[in-house]
Amino acid sequence: DDQCRTSMRGIFAIGDVTGEPMLAHRAMAQGEMVAEIVAGHNRSWDKRSIPAICFTDPELITAGLSPEEAKRLGGEIKVGLFPFAANGRAMTKLSEDGFVRVVARADNHLVLGIQAVGQGVSELSTAFGLALEMGARLEDIAGTIHAHPTQGEGFQEAALKAMGHALHV
């Protein structure tokens, strides 16, 4: 269940035996949650902000919903895509292939998902997970000062693009 309880009283399950996504960082978070529950705290499991990363070349990351998944849930969405070809740090690393994409609700700009492809994008996973966990809106990401030159600026630029205010595209 949403507290990792099994059908056997007092027995919890974490990690791969609980299904997708089968990720080490998910199992660690579940283990921490179960320890808190056993200690008497009220916790439940919410998987919406678990980043999934392919450590390939280029790297791929996704957290939350894809545009297609968000559309299936109903309601209008906004999508902002920022190419690394317009990112100063990607240019200095000669790794301009790839992008950051933000998916948000059109009515209130709540961020539903974030994806990225490119060299070193796994380092953006924490920012993506944090944005989803905190219930960030496009304005939150766009209004956060991102250091220059970093690939993280692509996250800000994607949010700005989704709002129709892109600076460097």
Catalytic site residue from 41, 109, 148, 168: 148
Characterize the bridge pairing of strands 59-64 and 111-118: antiparallel
Q: Rounded to an integer, what distance in angstroms lies between the CA atom of residue 101 and that of residue 81?
A: 4
Helix (H) or strand (E) holding 32: helix 24-38
5 contacts: CB under 8 Å, gap ≥ 6: 11, 12
Query: Is 148 designated active site?
Result: yes
Find tokens 């539903």 and name the residue: 112
46 contacts: CB under 8 Å, gap ≥ 6: 2
Active site residues: 148
